[in-house]
Structure 1
Amino acid sequence: MDGTKAKLENGQISSSLERIVSENNILPGDTNRSEYRIDAYLKALPENEKQVAEILCFADEHRLSVAPQGGGTKDAYGQSTKSIDLVLSLKAMSGVLEHSAGDLMVTVLAGTTLRELQAALKTAGQFLPLDVAWDDQSTIGGIVNSGASGPRRAGYGSVRDFLIASRIVYPNGQVIRTGAKVVKNVAGYDMNKLFIGSMGTLGVHTEFTFKIRPIPAGQCLMVIGNAHVETLRTFQNILLDSHLEPCVFEWVNKETVKCIGIETQGPAVLLGFADVWPSVDEQFRHVQQLCQELGATVMSELRVAEEFESALSVLRNILPNSNLLEDGESVVSMKMMGKLTDVQAMYEAAEARAAQYGFSLKFSGGALSGIARVTVETAGEDKADINRSLTTWIRNLQSDMRNIGVRTVVDFAPSSIRNQISIWDETTTDQKIMRGIKMTIDPNEILNPGRIMGGL
């Protein structure tokens, strides 16, 4: 808070915020200097949009840096922020505002966890096809602002495909509405997409409206393994050219599939179908026959909804959670983005680099998205030495990926590592445009300063 103490003492900030929200909604910040959580002097929990606007106006006037926060699972995402004065938590703003089952739409407050939303939609036989990590803690606001997605992206798409309207508070307190609460809306620019993945650097979301889907009557997840890497690549290529429509199509390494309770000697493919049962069964038979022809094995088929969801949660939760890590642990997660046919190369490079450094690695790569995620974790008494090894591992894997034309983002890492590396492995040509947008919306740079690409 060095830059703000000249204007306001700590007690003055607290008393000023207490005039906006109740005293019980002003909490001490997480000042234990955790490498995985945002360090701030205070945390404010507004209960409505008006309070969000007033807090941001106060912060903007006094140049207090603000970090919007949902469940806190993604505190270690993005570049390390500069000094933060205030965490603005949306946890007190949760719940479904409107659910139009007939129109397949739902409006929800930003602090609602994904699990809470899915439970509310399930009563009408519907769901929002965003299966992100740690759904019991991840809020809708955090999901949108981080651009998070999961294995169902193969069949359903990402948050960009379902968000149709939102309400956002700018740092000056102005409330804007993007999109419209209608499924078909093609008028003007789609401003929703500007804020997706912005990591809370442009505004604070208070409300979202999504398109939703009926829960499929049937679903089946197949674990296919006991085959050479090249056999699985042939399997992937044949399926890409087929009439089949999987909702999940992931390459996983043996450490990841082991978490599902299945032992393999090498990689496996997780293939999921969701539709009416006759369609699911027909596609299953087609895949089973293909496996026999190629010499691969269907090691498991999960048809019970609970088993299906449990297996997908393993894939989702290879991403670390800031709330569950202590400073003694060193965990890094990286996202790799390339062509669909690059997934095998991503897998082989990640496995080779992990073996080189003796790291335990989990890998999951989308054969229909070209997006893969790897997580390594290690521990030891000499933390500085471990972090040096992890930093070198990151740089080497980034170099490996550049050589095959794959882009990378370090999704998650302790701050001591994030301070030494470039989270985004490239500088894009649109940096000038991004900075122009940031300076137009947040000229005093109070929202998550320095957290995204280019130090914005």
Structure 2
Amino acid sequence: MMVTVKAGTVFGDLQRELAPYRQKVALDPFWPDEATVGGVIAANDSGPKRLGYGAARDSVIGLRIVYPNGTVIRSGGKVVKNVAGYDMNKLFIGAMGTLGVLSEVTLKLRPLAKYESVVLLSFPSGDVQSIHSFAVSFLDTMMEPICFELLTPTLAERLTGRPVYTLVIGFEDVEKAVHYQEQWVERLCPKAASMAVLAGEEAEAFWRTFYTIAPNGRLTTSGGGVEAAVKIGVVNLDVLSVLRESELIADRCHVQIEAHGGLG
């Protein structure tokens, strides 16, 4: 139910070590084969599956921290049920290492999903109101997606080959439950939208590509241009207007913007 690792452990290596035991850390940071566990926790990083998994702070049970003066302290514990005293973990998670250096992390584990699929809903008309209406209808159902992410046409072209607004809906469960939810999406799907389902290796390949779209400081950019990632916090359905505005900014300012946001 839990694992304790050094902060410098590469996140992808940890997941591969846990896989034979049918376990995983329920986080989905970008560049998992380069990001370290300590870095993910210090940045409180997460990806589109935060809707189902929660953020880094939801997975951390305990920390060992080194203060600037060399003092070593521990927060939390090494058991899942640990509620005594103040939750000091949350003070250091997302602090970007400014309060102390993380040296050891204890994390909760979850079982690997029996089956996974990714539903792609493409909206060729670009009608934002149609996407909004579908999102509201879907969120009113009892479906339990692990992600409900909207991609701008620019990013959708890179990931799916189609330059149109695309909703990415992820499901993880037993196979029968996943197919049941896919059928629900199909019934709710607007006539103007088209639906495709990625399962098994196709779904894994999609996520592998997705988690490398963000700029990586260790890699040099082609052409010497500047790349930046901006994280914006808004109410879920306001994501639509933010993504629409990002498209307009890209046109006006002659820059390339690949944007996505969680409608969940």
Q: TM-score range by the shorter chain?
A: over 0.9
Which of 269, 273, 276 is the aligned partner of 2:167?
Answer: 269
Q: Does 1:324 align with 2:219?
A: yes
2:85 pairs with one of 173, 181, 188: 188
Matching of residue 307 in structure 1 with residue 181 in structure 2: no
Q: Does 1:349 align with 2:248?
A: no
Contact 1:252–1:364 (8 Å) recurs in 2: yes
Cα contact 1:151–1:312 (8 A) shared by 2: no
SS at match of 2:135: helix
CA contact (8 A) 2:32 2:211 kept: no
Cα-Cα RMSD = 1.4
Give me the whole-angstrom Cα distance separating, in 2, the residues matched to 1:148 and 1:358: 29
CA contact (8 A) 1:253 1:268 kept: yes
1:130 shift after superposition: 1.1
Unaligned runs of 5+ in 1: 1-103, 369-456
Superposed, 1:376-395 pairs within 5 Å as: none
1:231, 1:296 within 8 Å by CA — same for their partners in 2?
no
CA-to-aligned-CA distance 1:283-335 (integer Å, 9 cap, x gap):
000101111x543210x21111x321221233332321100135932112211
User: 1:110-129 alignment to 2 at 5 Å?
Assistant: 110-129=7-26
Q: Secondary structure at the match of 2:32?
A: coil
The 1:237–1:294 alpha-carbon spacing in structure 2 relative to 1, beyond 3 Å, is: farther
1:179-223, Cα deviation, whole Å (9 max, x unpaired): 011111111111111011111111111110111110110111011
1:3-45 Cα deviation digits (max 9, x unpaired): xxxxxxxxxxxxxxxxxxxxxxxxxxxxxxxxxxxxxxxxxxx
Residue equivalent to 1:239: 138
Which residue identity lines up with residue 256 of structure 2 in the other structure?
Answer: S
> What is the deviation of 1:161?
0.6
The code of the aligned residue for 1:139 comes to T
Cα separation, 2, equivalents of 1:313 and 1:324: 17
Mapping 1:53-452, distance limit 5 Å: 104-225=1-122, 226-227=124-125, 228-264=127-163, 266-291=164-189, 293-298=190-195, 300-304=196-200, 306-325=201-220, 328-368=224-264
- Matches of 1:289 and 1:280 in 2, distance apart? 15
User: Whole-Å Cα distance in 1 between the matches of residues 243 and 256 of structure 2?
Assistant: 14
Aligned to 1:58: none
Q: TM-score, normalised by structure 2?
A: 0.95
Aligned-partner SS, 1:185: coil
In structure 1, give the amino acid aligned to 2:129: E
How many residue pairs are counted as aligned between the two chains? 261
Contact kept, 8 Å, 2:11 with 2:33, in 1: the verdict is yes
Report Cα offsets for 1:388-437 as digits up to 9, x if no partner. xxxxxxxxxxxxxxxxxxxxxxxxxxxxxxxxxxxxxxxxxxxxxxxxxx
Q: State percent identity of aligned pairs.
A: 39
Gap runs ≥5 in structure 2: none
CA distance in 2 between counterparts of 1:329 and 1:337 reads 26
Q: What is the CA distance between 1:257 and its match in structure 2?
A: 1.7
TM-score (norm 1): 0.56
Q: Tell me which structure has the larger Cα radius of gyration.
A: 1
Residues 256, 314 of structure 1: 8 Å contact kept: no
Separation in 1, partners of 2:4, 2:172: 25
Structure-2 separation of matches of 1:131 and 1:318 = 13
The separation in 2 between residues aligned to 1:310 and 1:320, in whole angstroms, is: 19
SS of structure 1 residue aligned to 2:227: strand
- State the distance in 2 between where 1:340 and 1:241 align: 14
**SS of the residue 1:280 aligns to:** helix
Indicate the larger mover: 250-259 or 215-224. Answer: 250-259
Deviations 1:149-180 (A, max 9, x none): 11110111110111010101111111101001
**Letter of the structure 2 residue corresponding to residue 309 of structure 1:** E
Q: Is the 1:251–1:365 contact (alpha carbons within 8 Å) kept by the matching residues of 2?
A: yes
Contact 1:151/1:316, CA 8 A, preserved across alignment: no
Report the residue type matching 1:253 in the other structure: T
Q: CA deviation at 1:349?
A: 0.9
CA contact (8 A) 1:168 1:175 kept: yes
Amino acid at match of 1:241: D
Quick check: 2:6–2:103 contact (8 Å CA) kept in 1? Answer: yes
